[in-house]
Structure 1
Amino acid sequence: MYFEIQGNIEDIEPIAIGNRIQELSRLKKQFGSGRWRKLKGVANVKLDNGHIRRAEVHWCEAHGIGKRKMKIKRFID
């Protein structure tokens, strides 16, 4: 499913940091080493069919690398 974040991500919370991330080795192979964190937040997302919905999104990020592997976990509205 393709989507775009509309506006800012709110209520950002860490889920896991460093070795607590299950996919850490894959992230390091694909994007490089860094201080990886898995985060979640709430945002308005524009879906590929044009609808805008409120959703909980999860992603991984590292300093100097940025947000990667963003996905919609569930719709809130």
Structure 2
Amino acid sequence: MPLRLRKFIGTILIIFLVLLYAILAVSIASAYLGTSPWWVHFLYFLLSGLLWVLPAMAIIKWMAGPVQK
């Protein structure tokens, strides 16, 4: 697969990942954290705000293609 096409597909995947992840994180927060104290909200959004990076890193590694020596 050409590198340019791989980067295009990866960009689309990252956009969908961020959109779906944000909707899921906010849905979970509104369903379960309604009466929780502020520090529970803070910890939840801190962790969920960092967690999306892991699948995004996998997509970015795939976009870069195999390492050429």
Q: TM tier, shorter chain?
A: under 0.3
Which has the larger strand fraction? 1
Which has the larger helix fraction? 2
State the TM-score, normalizing by the size of structure 1.
0.20
Give the greater-gyration-radius structure (CA). Answer: 2
State the TM-score, normalizing by the size of structure 2.
0.22
